[in-house]
Every structure is written in structure tokens, then in C-alpha cells.
């Protein structure tokens, strides 16, 4: 087979966040794809175990594909997330392309959260706090700036300030304030975006001002947690997909299991929000919480967009 390989540099040159966010918005108005998930983890690596994730999805008649992804939180010499994606033709099942799944995941994840923020954050939001300075952080900054072009201040917090300073210096043309007091930074932010592998809550609900949009991205297993019970109790809760995120993300599974909230407190997912079946923010004073779980359907949507650009 002569299968084209779509590499990371080619993707980065062709992609733009406004177009990808709009593609995801339209795709969420289409029938829901079939999607599955398999996660293998190395128990010897607890409390932040290495993992191998397989995410297949199928939009019958259109496309199907699968991402093979490694998640190694302790990596320092290479990205914590590395992946390949295989995209198949939905009409005849033939292999259409092999994609750099690592680069694709960066763009997919950032566009997913940016779409959530565009639907849920206040239109007049002017300040963004990014919690975590890993490989996803620069993508989040750029994606948020596209959906909120009036953004005036970007703050960055990381457990290791040196890494935050290095990232801030790499974001040419974007002024970023590195902060060390997480509580004060959360209290000053209109939008808070968390991208960590934390298993203990970093964001305390009492810190959130009315009107804040809280975006939780990092926790992809039931043992991971970025915000405490008070945060989920105070917020209007939304997710990217009900069937995956509510069942697997510790920021929701833990407070549901303890009775702090119930699954019915999740007001909508992106399919319901984008189609207009459920309203998002109801007041400028609402605290909105968007829990991003990723999901194979988002990978398939993003791979289709990339293939349309590059094939």
C-alpha cells in the first residue's frame, strides 16, 4: 500500500485554530460517531502511571480511524503524549492516511477546549490563566486568543517556575505573565485552563469569582483530579461528550461517587450545545466548568479536517 504520511510540520503549516474550531462546531451538529476506548496502564508507575491508549471511532459512510497513543507523565526528554493516527475511507474501508498523532492531539485538544470556551466563557473575558507548562500549553494560549480576540492578559502557572519562564519566552509575540501564587492568579482570571496530570485538586472552588470559566483538560482517568468538590458544586457543568467524560474523568467520577453532585448535574455536552438543544451560560455571573475528556470522535473529526487540507 502506498499510504500517505501527514507529518507534524505539514499539519502545523496548514492548520489554523479558527477553521478547526468551526469544523468541530459543525461536526457536533452531525450524527454522533461510534467511539470506544481502551487504556492500559503500568501499575508500577503510580501515582502517575504510564499508559497506552487506543481510541477507535467510526462515522458510518464517512470515515473511521484509530489513534494509538502513549502517555508518559514523567517524560522530560520527549513529549508526555506521543501518538499515531490511522484514517480509513468510510466508503470502502481502505487506508486513507497515517497521521502524526502527537501533533494532531495538540490541535484537537486545544480546539476542543477553545470551542467549549467560545460557547461558555463570557464574551467580554479579558484574562486567561493557564495552569501547567507542558507541550499543550502554547496551543491552549493560541487557541483561546482566537476565540476571545479581546484577551488582554495571559498568566501561566507551573509547579516548576523555571519551566513556565522557558515556555513564556518561547511564545514570541505573546506577552505572558509567569505567576507563582496560584490562588491570586485564579482570583484574577476570567478563564482558567488546567492542563496537568495532577491526582490532587489544584483549583479550589472558593477561589473562583462569579463569571469565571474553568476548563479542566489534564485528568483523563478516574484517579486524576484538577479541581475540588467546591468547584464542581458551584459551577454549571458541561463536558465534551457525556458517554466518555462523565464515566472516566476523575473531576466528575469522584464527586459523583461521593454524592457531591450527580450525573444529572452535567447540563450538556458539545453535541447538545452546538446544536442549540441546550443553552450554555445563562448569566454573566455563572461559573461555568467545561471538562474536556478528549475522545475518539474528536480525533476522527480532526483527522478528517487535516486530510481535507493536505490530501
Asked if the model's pLDDT at residue 75 lies above 90, the reply is no
Q: 251-296, pLDDT tens digit by residue?
A: 999 999 999 999 999 999 999 999 999 999 999 999 999 999 989 9
What lies within 8 Å, CB to CB, of 253 at 6+ separation is: 222, 246, 247
Q: 144-170, pLDDT tens digit by residue?
A: 999 999 999 999 999 999 999 999 999
Q: How far is CA 277 from CA 66, 270, 280, in A?
A: 29, 10, 10
pLDDT, the chain, mean = 95
pLDDT band at 220 (very low <50, low <70, confident <90, very high): confident
Q: 3-class SS at 149? A: coil
CATH numbers and ranges of domains, the chain: 5-105+297-310 (3.30.1780.10), 111-295 (3.40.50.720)
Q: 182-208, pLDDT tens digit by residue?
A: 999 999 999 999 999 899 999 999 999
Entry field: residues in the chain: 311
Q: 47-56, pLDDT tens digit by residue?
A: 678 899 999 9
Find the Cα–Cα–Cα–Cα dihedral 17, 18, 23, 26, rounded to 10°.
Answer: 140
Q: Dihedrals φ, ψ of 24, to 5°?
A: -65, -40
What lies within 8 Å, CB to CB, of 196 at 6+ separation is: 131, 132, 134, 202, 218, 226
How far apart CA 273 and CA 50 sit, in angstroms, is 33
User: What single-letter DSSP state applies at residue 32?
Assistant: P
Cβ atoms within 10 Å of 177's Cβ, excluding its own: 15
Per-residue model confidence (pLDDT) at position 73: 81
pLDDT band at 39 (very low <50, low <70, confident <90, very high): confident
How far apart CA 286 and CA 159 sit, in angstroms, is 29
Q: Which residue has the cell 458539545?
A: 270
How far apart CA 284 and CA 261 sit, in angstroms, is 23
pLDDT band at 46 (very low <50, low <70, confident <90, very high): low
Q: 3-class SS at 171? A: coil
Per-range mean pLDDT, top range of 11-20, 78-87, 215-224: 11-20
Q: Which residue has the cell 508518559?
A: 72
Q: 230-257, pLDDT tens digit by residue?
A: 999 999 999 999 987 888 899 999 999 9
Asked if the model's pLDDT at residue 122 lies above 80, the reply is yes
pLDDT band at 45 (very low <50, low <70, confident <90, very high): low
Amino acid at each position: 500500500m502506498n499510504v500517505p504520511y501527514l507529518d507534524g510540520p505539514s499539519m502545523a503549516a496548514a492548520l489554523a485554530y479558527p477553521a478547526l474550531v468551526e469544523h468541530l462546531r459543525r461536526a457536533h451538529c452531525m450524527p454522533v460517531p461510534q467511539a470506544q476506548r481502551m487504556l492500559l496502564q503500568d501499575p508500577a508507575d503510580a501515582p502517575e502511571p504510564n499508559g497506552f491508549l487506543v481510541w477507535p471511532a467510526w462515522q458510518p459512510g464517512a470515515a473511521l480511524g484509530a489513534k494509538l497513543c502513549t502517555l508518559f507523565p514523567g517524560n522530560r526528554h520527549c513529549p508526555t503524549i506521543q501518538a499515531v493516527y490511522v484514517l480509513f475511507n468510510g466508503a470502502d474501508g481502505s487506508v486513507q492516511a497515517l497521521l502524526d498523532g502527537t501533533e494532531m492531539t495538540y490541535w484537537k485538544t486545544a480546539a476542543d477546549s477553545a470551542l467549549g470556551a467560545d460557547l461558555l466563557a463570557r464574551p467580554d473575558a479579558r484574562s486567561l490563566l493557564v495552569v501547567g507548562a507542558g507541550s499543550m500549553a502554547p496551543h491552549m494560549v493560541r487557541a483561546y486568543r482566537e476565540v476571545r480576540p479581546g484577551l488582554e492578559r495571559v498568566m501561566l502557572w507551573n509547579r516548576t517556575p523555571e519551566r513556565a519562564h522557558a515556555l513564556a519566552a518561547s511564545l514570541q509575540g505573546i506577552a505572558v505573565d509567569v505567576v507563582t501564587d496560584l490562588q491570586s492568579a485564579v482570583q484574577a482570571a476570567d478563564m482558567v485552563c488546567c492542563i496537568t496530570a495532577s491526582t490532587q485538586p489544584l483549583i479550589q472552588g472558593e477561589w473562583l469569582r462569579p463569571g469565571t470559566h474553568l476548563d479542566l483538560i489534564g485528568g483523563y482517568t478516574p484517579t486524576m483530579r484538577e479541581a475540588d468538590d467546591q468547584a464542581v458544586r458551584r459551577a454549571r457543568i458541561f463536558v465534551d461528550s457525556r458517554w466518555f467524560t462523565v464515566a472516566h474523568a476523575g473531576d466528575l467520577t469522584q464527586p459523583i461517587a461521593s454524592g457531591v453532585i450527580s450525573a444529572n448535574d452535567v447540563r450538556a455536552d458539545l453535541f447538545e450545545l452546538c446544536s442549540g438543544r441546550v443553552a450554555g451560560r445563562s448569566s454573566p455571573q455563572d461559573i461555568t466548568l467545561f471538562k474536556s475528556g478528549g475522545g475518539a470522535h474528536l480525533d476522527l473529526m480532526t483527522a478528517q479536517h487535516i486530510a481535507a487540507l493536505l490530501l
